[in-house]
Structure 1
Amino acid sequence: MACLSRLLSHAHYFSLLSLWLLAAPTNADTVNTQKHTLNIDVLATGLNHPWSMVFLPEGDILVSERNGVLKRVSDKGDVSHVSGLPEGLVYKGQGGLLGLALSPDFSTNKIVYLAFSEEGQFSKAGTSVIRAKLQGNALSDITTIFQTAPRFAGGRHFGGCLLTTDKHLYIALGDRGNRDKAQHLDSHIGSVIRLNLDGSTPIDNPFYAQSTATSDGTKPEIFSYGHRNIQGMTLDPKTNTLWTHEHGPQGGDEVNTIEAGANYGWPTITYGVNYGTGSKIGKGTHAEGMEQPLHFWVPSIAPSGLTIVQGDTFPEWQGDLLLGSLKFGLLVRLDIENGIIVNEERMLDGKYGRIRDVVEGPGGKIYLLTDASNGQILRLHPTQ
């Protein structure tokens, strides 16, 4: 009877396993990592160099494509176009339609924020941000709430990451290839901008008082400066810590936590060197009054996207940072303990190509955007 009981138990187990296998995605890959074994399936394909994605309350995903197209992807992978993007968007070099963020009250006000490279006079371009309502598959009530000043020719380092909190909108800007401007407070270049959600400037911004008390041109919107080209930004809601990473030159990609008024050093200090020649940039790696990164990469991995794992779906990753790598096609996990990065794990190893964005979606699954002319949305969840 004991053998029969075990036989029936095994039969029940294999019956359940068969049902699970039938329900599992047929195109799923399995990848082993240090903490979890992952199932990875393709949710959507046919995206043209997608740059950013955000989840709408009903589960659809809003996706920006760098060529200036906004798309909506259902939870079944159906793709549709969203109309109403503003004129003036220019697709050049690293520019185009970039970061996306939702109002914290999106469920009631339907407000979305979009960053893009906008061309002005004499073919000079800069990063701009609009605030609009998303009604169905169309944008309406569009208002431009921010425009980078000054603007420059060329197609490098627009930044473009957006992040909303209960009260504020953060905008990450690159140096536009004019590195010295990142140390000047009379320029938005190479800074993190903080605005109120309606686009106005918070009076408690670190340089607001200086901008009103002097005539030196200080930009009151600046929250931090000395950045080269931020490509990932996320908030830890438990500690209210704002995490970013940015591209260095040849080496010197950085992970930082952003503090009001802090100077992150570029181009005075960096762990990178000049392209080609390998010569030193600025004063080396340290200077008084300038922040040190919490983590850096030499050689560069070209980090992209950034999220902090909050849900219970990946219990062994909870509280850790996940980011992509454009250069090596990696998913990178940074193990965080008490605000300190204690370990780095590299996953995927180029299997899916360049990873552009990393987002924790509803139910705690992890979603990746691949940067290609036939870009994909990949969905990750641990094996049962």
Structure 2
Amino acid sequence: MLARPLLAATFAGAILWGGFASAAPDQPLDSTLGPLEVTTVADGLARPWSLAFLPGGERMLVTERPGTLRVVGLDGRVSEPLDGVPEVYATGQGGLLDVRLSPDFASDRLVYLTYAEAGEDGKAGTVVGRGRLSEDLSAIEDFEVLLRQQPKLSVGLHFGSRLVFDRAGDLFVTLGENNRRSTAQDLDKLQGKVVRLNPDGSVPPDNPFVDRQGARPEIWSYGHRNPQGAALNPWTGALWVNEHGPRGGDEINVPQAGKNYGWPLATHGIDYSGQPIPEAVGETAEGTVAPHHVWEVSPGLSGMAFYDAERFPAWQHSLFIGALAQPSLIRLTLDGDAVAKEERLLESLGKRIRDVRVGPDGYLYVLTDEADASLLRIGLAE
């Protein structure tokens, strides 16, 4: 566990650290490929949502949904909150969400964030912005907003949102439909969309709806519900997105330019009330793309990562996904793009898994979803 607060100490220059924890002893857990080693790197985190490794692989940025961004070291040290982070709407599922480093971070030190922002009427929407990480790791400087989800419709639900840079440096952002189902089909709104931006927030001229009147030019694909996981397939370069269904029907999609992914016209799920989704015409709908993979019973999908590291060859061509409703870490074995097998890991821990990333050392790093949450390192026993 995170040690009780210590006297402020300096680390990596002028950064102030509020405490630290040594890694807990390995906990043996089973998998079909042999025992796992699960180590607590740090805990005491407040509803962490995402992480991004800094160059060198010894430290990472971690977002906490109440609105704080911290630096966490592999030695368990957890920094004080960084200055310069925008004010967030920390209601329901809202707050400070994803974090991603610029592809040119070594030269520009830019950090991209998504978060929920309140409007004048109290409703909220997702925002994408970026700022420069100070040399002493204590602040985000010169933060600027790149995109605001418009209109603001959420009262605390379905913000998305994940950030992914593709091989060309374009930025994809997943945006939830704010629990306003029909807006996912409205091309004049940014609810229920995957958008594609240049790194500075401008719109690529080859986006599919740039020249369509009444459509938002940022849109890449539409008909999404609440996509909370996204990653770039390292073998094909394609963007993969996972999203929550309603009651059943969680999906993986591989969004293509201009395509409609169905919500709420097509779904494998029903409403939480037990009634059919009013707009749904069935599991498929004309003019929409069927899911690449679907769960009839919702695991509650969250962050995801493809495994292409050399450290654990048995995990090669696996896709790892955090699960919230059925607390576990899902491992999908891929045969090309097809899902060949599924395995549930960490079920005995009983922890909701919010995010999963592959570290530079080839281990998995996962964030649990709790008021007093942990950062775990996971590998196969060697």
Query: TM-score normalized by structure 2?
Result: 0.90
Post-superposition Cα deviations, 1:308-341, rounded to whole Å, max 9, x if no partner, equal: 0010122111121001111121110111112111
Post-superposition Cα deviations, 1:263-291, rounded to whole Å, max 9, x if no partner, equal: 10000000001112332541010112211
Partner Cα distance (1:313, 1:38) in 2: 14
Equivalent residue of 1:52, what SS? strand
Partner Cα distance (2:105, 2:34) in 1: 33
Which deviates the most, 79-88 or 321-330? Answer: 79-88
Aligned amino acid, residue 220 of structure 1: P
Equivalent residue of 2:183, what SS? helix
Q: How many residues end up aligned between the 2 structures?
A: 356
Partner Cα distance (1:65, 1:280) in 2: 33
Superposition deviation, residue 87 in structure 1: 4.3
Superposition deviation, residue 88 in structure 1: 4.0
Aligned residue runs from structure 1 range 141-180, under 5 A: 141-165=142-166, 166-180=168-182
Aligned residue in 2 for 1:241 = 238
Aligned residue runs from structure 1 range 82-231, under 5 A: 82-135=81-134, 136-165=137-166, 166-210=168-212, 214=213, 216=214, 218-231=215-228
Aligned residue runs from structure 1 range 232-271, under 5 A: 232-271=229-268
Equivalent residue of 2:140, what SS? strand
Partner Cα distance (1:153, 1:182) in 2: 13
Q: Relative to total residues, which structure has the larger helix share, 1 or 2?
A: 1
Equivalent residue of 1:161, what SS? strand
Superposition deviation, residue 58 in structure 1: 2.3
Pair 1:381–1:152, CA change in 2 (3 A): same
2:23 and 2:76 in contact (8 A); partners too: no
Q: Which runs of 5+ in 2 are unaligned?
A: 1-21
Superposition deviation, residue 26 in structure 1: 5.6
1:313 and 1:382 in contact (8 A); partners too: no
Partner Cα distance (1:158, 1:253) in 2: 16
Partner Cα distance (1:62, 1:86) in 2: 12
Partner Cα distance (1:272, 1:350) in 2: 27
Which deviates the most, 190-199 or 290-299? Answer: 290-299
Superposition deviation, residue 129 in structure 1: 1.0
Partner Cα distance (1:167, 1:280) in 2: 38
Superposition deviation, residue 152 in structure 1: 1.4
Partner Cα distance (1:134, 1:120) in 2: 27
Equivalent residue of 2:208, what SS? coil
Aligned residue in 2 for 1:20 = none
Partner Cα distance (1:332, 1:87) in 2: 33
Partner Cα distance (2:24, 2:351) in 1: 21
Equivalent residue of 2:177, what SS? coil
Query: TM-score normalized by structure 1?
Result: 0.90
Superposition deviation, residue 256 in structure 1: 1.1
Partner Cα distance (1:179, 1:325) in 2: 23
Pair 1:171–1:26, CA change in 2 (3 A): closer
Aligned amino acid, residue 182 of structure 1: A
Post-superposition Cα deviations, 1:126-146, rounded to whole Å, max 9, x if no partner, equal: 100111000122110111101
Matching residue within 367, 373, 376 for 1:375 = 373
2:154 and 2:179 in contact (8 A); partners too: no
1:328 and 1:350 in contact (8 A); partners too: no
Aligned residue in 2 for 1:12 = none
Partner Cα distance (1:44, 1:330) in 2: 19
Partner Cα distance (2:85, 2:322) in 1: 29
Post-superposition Cα deviations, 1:179-229, rounded to whole Å, max 9, x if no partner, equal: 00000110000000110011111001111122xxx3x2x100000100000
Partner Cα distance (1:257, 1:315) in 2: 25
Partner Cα distance (2:38, 2:105) in 1: 29
Which deviates the most, 362-371 or 344-353? Answer: 344-353
> CA-atom RMSD, angstroms?
1.5
Aligned amino acid, residue 29 of structure 1: Q
Pair 1:258–1:368, CA change in 2 (3 A): same
Structure showing greater radius of gyration is 1
Aligned amino acid, residue 287 of structure 2: G
Q: Which runs of 5+ in 1 are unaligned?
A: 1-23
Which deviates the most, 310-319 or 267-276? Answer: 310-319
Superposition deviation, residue 86 in structure 1: 4.4
Aligned amino acid, residue 101 of structure 1: R
1:170 and 1:193 in contact (8 A); partners too: yes
Partner Cα distance (2:253, 2:154) in 1: 28
1:247 and 1:303 in contact (8 A); partners too: yes
